[in-house]
């Protein structure tokens, strides 16, 4: 059974700092990995999708990497801003239209 772990559970950083969020998964036979952002009381917003054949994806100040063999992904946020404060979740699925398995997220606070 796939398990996804995100460490740390919460993180507080000063504005402008570069930071890394971690995601690990137990079964390396994944099809893709997605990073999401969730603001309090809201739904999830997809940030980046990395297919298993890819090593990384970039969008603006965000960069996500994937090391399938070691069961790890990182989300790098450059020059953090208070507006980046949210919970970040990663999720993986297997090939064959299988559902996403989510980690419990990292709650990020960027202090001005």
Partner 1 sequence: KAGVTQTPRYLIKTRGQQVTLSCSPISGHRSVSWYQQTPGQGLQFLFEYFSETQRNKGNFPGRFSGRQFSNSRSEMNVSTLELGDSALYLCASSLQASGNTIYFGEGSWLTVV
Q: For binding to partner 1 (CB under 8 A), which residues are involved?
A: 31-32, 34, 36, 41-46, 49, 51, 89, 91, 93-105
**Which CB, 101 or 108, lies closer to partner 1?**
101
**Which CB, 43 or 60, lies closer to partner 1?**
43
Contact between 35 and 47 (Cβ < 8 Å):
yes
Contact between 21 and 106 (Cβ < 8 Å):
yes
Min. distance of Cβ 98 from partner 1 in angstroms? 6
3-state secondary structure of 62: strand
Residue 14 has which token pair?
């000063």
Min. distance of Cβ 96 from partner 1 in angstroms? 7
**Which CB, 77 or 101, lies closer to partner 1?**
101
- Residues in CB range of 30: below 8 A, 6 or more apart: 2, 52, 68, 92, 93, 94
Min. distance of Cβ 48 from partner 1 in angstroms? 9
């Amino acid at each position: 059974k796939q398990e996804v772990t995100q460490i740390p559970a919460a993180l507080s950083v000063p504005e402008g700092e570069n930071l890394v969020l971690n995601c690990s998964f137990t079964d390396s036979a994944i099809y893709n990995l997605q990073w999401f952002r969730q603001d309090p009381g809201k739904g999830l917003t997809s940030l980046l999708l990395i297919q298993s054949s890819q090593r990384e994806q970039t969008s603006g100040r965000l960069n996500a990497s994937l090391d399938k063999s070691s069961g790890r992904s990182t989300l790098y946020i450059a020059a953090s801003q208070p507006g980046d404060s949210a919970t970040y979740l990663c999720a993986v699925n297997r090939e064959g239209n299988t559902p996403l398995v989510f980690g419990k997220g990292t709650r990020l606070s960027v202090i001005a």
